[in-house]
C-alpha cells in the first residue's frame, strides 16, 4: 500500500481523547520492536547506508546459521528448521529492495529505513485473524531486533555528528498500552495518534491525566503514513493533519496562541480557594502516577494528591521496589503536599492496567478476575511492604491510604486487619507513623455502592472511581469498540449509585471524593457538585479549568439540577441538563 503523497495535505479524522495541539514529524512505532534512532542523511551517504543494510543482513544470517548448527548438535534437524523462515526473510529480495528504495527516496538512515519497512510487514500479518500467522509476526519481531542490533555492532561510527536525531515527534502507532503512555519521554514525544483505542481506555485516561494530546481510531494510519512526515495533531477536534499547508499551520498556530492566552487567565486563580459562588468549599486535588509529578501538584494549585496510582510506579520497573524505596517515594509525596493530604492507593493491578505478575494462563475475563484489592490480599508479603512504607512515610506529613476495587465488606475488614498488624509491628520496632492516618475505600463496583452504608462505618472517606463504576454497573467493557458507545457516565443507574454513596457517607460523617474521569469532565462538574461531592481529584493539566468551573457556579443551583437529574430516565437528558448549565456559566472552558 503506497504512502501518502509527500506534497499533499491529508486530514485524518478519529476520536479526540486528550486535548491539546502538537506540531512535529511523525514517528512510527510497532509493537514488539524498539525503534532505532532516526536521522536524515545526505545524498552522498546513500550508498554507504545501503551497504550498511547488506552488512547487517549478512551478519544476521551468519548468526542464524550458527544458531541452527548449534540446535542440530544438541537436538535434531527438525528443531533447527524453525529458523528457515528467518533465513528466508533475510534473503527476501522484495524486502531488501523496499529498504533500499526507502533510503534513496526518504534520505533516512539505514536502521530506521529497515525498521519502517519491517514493522509494516509485522503489522500487516497481525491483522489477519489466524493463530499461525500471529506466531509468524513474532518471528518477524525477533529477526528484526537481531538485524537492528547488528547495525550498531557493525558500524559504531555510522551516525555522523552533524546529523543529529530529531528530538520532537508525534508518535504514530497501531495501539499503545498504559505503560507505553506513562513511559513516554515528554520532552520528545509531543502527542500520539493510534489506529486502535477509545476515549474510555486507560491509555486515553492517562494521556488526559498527563496532558498529552492524543487522537485514536485512525484506521489504516500506520500502514499508509510516511515516517517523518510533518504533522499537526489536533487533540481538540480529533484530527491528524499530514503535510499541512502553510495556511493550515498558520490557522493552528493561532488556535495555539488563543489557548496559551486562556492558560494565562487560568493562572490568575491558581492559588485561590476552590469554592462555589455561594460559598461551598470543594477540595480539588491531583491524580499522579510517578514521583517526578509531585512538583506539578503545587504548581497546578491542587490541594494535595487525591490519587497516587502506585501500580505504574510499582510495576513499571521490572520488579516491585523494596519497602525502603517505597518509603522514600511516599515520604516525598507527604513532604511535597504538606499541609495538604496525599492519598496513596494501594496496588491496583489487572484489568486494563499493568499485571501484577505473569500468569500461567491468560485470564478469560480480566476485568472480573485477579485485580485490585484481590491481588494484594493474595500476596500478603507484598501488601504489607507497601502498607508499612505508607505508614512510615505518614510521619512526614498527611497521608491517606485507599483500597481499590473492594466488592465486599469482608475484603475491607481483612485489609484493615493487615494494616493494623503493620501498625503493631512498627510499634514494636519503635518506628514513628501517624496512628490517625485516614483510611478510605474506592467505590468502583455496584456491590460497594449498594453496601456503602455499611462500608462507611469502617472508613474515613470514600473515593468514587467512576471509570469502573460505570462499566460494572452497565456491563460495558469501556475499551471494547463494539460496545463503547453504551458506556454512559450519565446513566440514571450510575447517577443514583453515586448519590446513594454520597448520602451514606454524609449519614456516617465521612467525606466523599471522585477520582475517576467524571471529575475531569467539565460538562459534568455541575452535576457532581449538585450530588454533593466534597472532593474531586483530576490530572494536574485539567485542574485549573475545573477550579475555574467550580468558582463559576452556585451549589444551590447545582443541587436543584441534581434533584431534577435523579428523576430522569435517559442518560442523554441528564447529560444535556448538566452541559447546558455548564455552557451557561463557563462557555469559554468548553470550546
Q: Find the CATH number of the domain harbouring 392.
A: 3.20.20.60
Helices (H), 75-210: 77-80, 84-90, 93-106, 110-126, 131-154, 178-182, 202-210
Q: Which of 43-57, 102-116, 466-480 shows the lowest mean pLDDT across its residues?
A: 102-116
SS3 18: strand
* Average pLDDT taken over every residue of the chain: 86
For 338, counting Cβ atoms within 10 Å of its Cβ (0-12 exposed, 13-18 middle, 19+ buried), the class is: middle
Half-sphere exposure of 538 (CA within 13 A, CB side): 25
Residue of 336, 422, 515, 558 marked catalytic: 515
Q: pLDDT higher for 154 or 52?
A: 52
Say which residues have a Cβ less than 8 Å from residue 181's Cβ, sequence separation at least 6: 192, 203, 206, 207, 210, 212
- pLDDT for 397 equals 97
- pLDDT for 162 equals 29
Active site residue 515: yes
Residue of 174, 202, 555, 585 marked catalytic: 202
Model confidence pLDDT, tens digit, residues 165-177:
356 899 998 887 7
Q: What grid cell was written down for 400? A: 491517606
Candidates 359, 379, 380; CA nearest to 369 is: 359
Residue 38 inside a domain? The answer is no
- pLDDT for 316 equals 62
Confidence of residue 354 (pLDDT cuts 50, 70, 90): low
Within this chain, do residues 247 and 302 fall inside the same structural domain, yes or no? no
Pairing of strands 239-242, 283-288: unpaired
Domain containing residue 74: CATH number? 1.10.274.10
Within this chain, do residues 341 and 396 fall inside the same structural domain, yes or no? yes
Within this chain, do residues 240 and 334 fall inside the same structural domain, yes or no? no
Within this chain, do residues 133 and 110 fall inside the same structural domain, yes or no? yes
Confidence of residue 94 (pLDDT cuts 50, 70, 90): confident
Answer whether 176's CB lies under 8 Å from 203's CB.
yes
Domain containing residue 183: CATH number? 3.50.30.10
Query: For 235-249, what is the mean pLDDT?
Result: 95
- The pLDDT of residue 245 is above 90: yes
Q: Which of 85-89, 93-97, 334-338 shows the lowest mean pLDDT across its residues?
A: 85-89
Show the domain range for 82.
43-154
Residue 1 inside a domain? The answer is no
- pLDDT for 83 equals 61
- Count the domains in the chain: 3
**In terms of pTM, does the model score above 0.85?**
no
Strands laid side by side in the 10-13 sheet? 10-13, 239-242, 230-234, 21-28, 169-173, 189-194, 214-216, 15-18
> In whole angstroms, how large is the CA radius of gyration of the chain?
26
- The pLDDT of residue 130 is above 60: no
Q: Which of 1-10, 103-112, 219-228, 453-462 shows the lowest mean pLDDT across its residues?
A: 1-10
Within this chain, do residues 102 and 179 fall inside the same structural domain, yes or no? no
Query: For 188-197, what is the mean pLDDT?
Result: 90
- pLDDT for 157 equals 39
Q: What grid cell was written down for 323? A: 519497602
Model confidence pLDDT, tens digit, residues 356-398:
565 556 667 777 888 899 999 999 999 999 999 999 999 999 9
Q: pLDDT higher for 62 or 459?
A: 459
Active site residue 202: yes
> CA–CA separation, 120 vs 99, rounded Å?
12
Query: For 254-263, what is the mean pLDDT?
Result: 93
Strand ranges for 244-354 from DSSP E: 283-288, 305-309, 341-345
Within this chain, do residues 380 and 461 fall inside the same structural domain, yes or no? yes
Within this chain, do residues 432 and 513 fall inside the same structural domain, yes or no? yes
Amino acid at each position: 500500500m503506497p504512502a501518502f503523497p509527500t506534497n499533499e495535505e491529508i486530514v485524518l479524522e478519529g476520536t479526540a481523547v486528550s486535548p491539546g495541539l502538537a506540531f512535529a514529524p511523525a514517528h512510527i512505532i510497532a509493537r514488539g520492536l524498539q525503534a532505532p534512532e532516526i536521522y536524515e542523511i545526505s545524498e552522498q551517504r546513500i550508498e554507504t547506508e545501503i551497504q550498511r543494510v547488506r552488512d547487517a543482513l549478512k551478519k544476521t544470517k551468519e548468526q542464524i546459521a550458527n544458531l541452527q548448527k548449534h540446535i542440530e548438535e544438541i537436538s535434531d534437524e527438525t528443531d533447527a528448521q524453525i529458523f528457515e523462515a528467518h533465513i528466508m526473510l533475510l534473503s527476501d529480495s522484495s524486502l531488501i529492495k523496499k529498504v533500499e528504495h526507502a533510503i534513496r527516496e526518504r534520505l533516512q538512515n539505514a536502521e530506521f529505513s529497515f525498521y519502517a519497512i519491517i514493522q509494516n510487514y509485522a503489522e500487516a500479518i497481525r491483522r489477519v485473524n489466524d493463530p499461525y500467522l500471529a506466531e509468524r509476526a513474532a518471528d518477524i519481531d525477533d529477526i528484526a531486533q537481531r538485524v537492528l542490533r547488528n547495525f550498531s555492532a557493525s558500524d559504531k561510527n555510522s551516525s555522523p555528528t552533524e546529523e543529529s536525531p530529531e528530538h520532537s515527534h508525534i508518535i504514530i502507532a497501531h495501539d499503545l498500552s498504559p505503560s507505553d503512555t506513562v513511559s513516554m519521554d515528554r520532552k520528545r514525544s509531543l502527542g500520539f495518534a493510534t489506529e486502535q483505542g477509545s476515549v474510555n481506555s486507560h491509555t486515553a485516561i492517562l494521556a488526559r491525566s498527563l496532558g498529552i494530546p492524543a487522537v485514536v481510531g485512525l484506521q489504516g494510519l500506520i500502514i499508509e503514513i510516511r515516517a517523518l512526515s510533518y504533522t499537526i495533531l489536533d487533540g481538540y477536534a480529533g484530527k491528524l493533519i499530514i503535510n499541512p499547508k502553510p495556511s493550515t499551520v498558520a490557522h493552528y498556530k493561532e488556535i495555539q496562541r488563543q489557548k496559551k492566552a486562556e492558560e494565562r487567565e487560568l493562572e490568575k486563580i491558581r492559588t485561590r480557594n476552590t469554592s462555589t459562588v455561594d460559598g461551598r468549599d470543594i477540595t480539588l486535588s491531583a491524580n499522579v502516577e510517578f514521583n517526578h509529578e509531585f512538583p506539578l501538584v503545587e504548581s497546578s494549585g491542587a490541594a494535595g494528591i487525591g490519587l497516587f496510582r502506585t501500580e505504574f510506579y510499582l510495576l513499571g520497573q521490572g520488579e516491585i521496589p523494596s519497602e525502603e524505596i517505597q518509603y522514600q517515594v511516599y515520604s516525598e509525596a507527604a513532604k511535597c503536599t504538606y499541609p495538604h493530604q496525599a492519598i496513596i492507593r494501594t496496588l491496583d493491578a489487572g484489568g486494563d492496567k499493568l499485571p501484577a505478575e505473569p500468569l500461567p494462563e491468560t485470564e478469560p475475563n480480566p476485568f472480573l478476575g485477579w485485580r485490585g484489592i484481590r491481588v494484594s490480599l493474595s500476596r500478603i508479603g507484598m501488601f504489607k511492604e507497601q502498607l508499612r512504607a505508607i505508614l512510615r512515610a505518614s510521619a512526614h506529613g498527611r497521608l491517606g491510604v485507599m483500597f481499590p476495587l473492594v466488592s465486599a465488606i469482608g475484603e475491607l475488614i481483612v485489609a484493615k486487619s493487615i494494616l493494623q498488624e503493620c501498625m503493631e509491628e512498627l510499634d514494636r520496632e519503635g518506628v514513628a507513623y501517624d496512628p490517625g492516618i485516614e483510611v478510605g475505600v474506592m467505590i468502583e463496583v455496584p456491590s460497594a455502592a449498594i453496601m456503602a452504608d455499611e462500608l462507611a462505618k469502617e472508613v474515613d472517606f470514600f473515593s468514587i472511581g467512576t471509570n469502573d463504576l460505570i462499566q460494572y454497573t452497565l456491563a460495558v467493557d469501556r475499551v471494547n469498540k463494539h460496545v463503547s458507545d453504551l458506556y454512559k457516565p450519565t446513566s440514571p443507574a450510575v447517577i443514583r449509585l453515586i448519590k446513594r454513596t454520597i448520602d451514606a457517607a454524609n449519614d456516617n460523617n465521612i467525606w466523599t471524593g471522585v477520582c475517576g474521569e467524571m471529575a475531569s469532565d467539565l460538562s459534568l462538574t455541575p452535576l457532581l457538585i449538585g450530588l454533593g461531592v466534597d472532593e474531586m481529584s483530576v490530572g494536574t493539566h485539567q485542574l485549573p479549568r475545573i477550579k475555574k468551573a467550580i468558582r463559576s457556579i452556585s451549589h444551590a443551583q447545582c443541587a436543584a439540577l441534581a434533584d431534577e437529574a435523579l428523576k430522569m430516565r435517559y442518560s442523554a437528558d441528564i447529560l444535556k441538563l448538566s452541559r447546558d448549565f455548564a455552557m451557561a456559566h463557563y462557555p469559554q472552558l468548553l470550546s
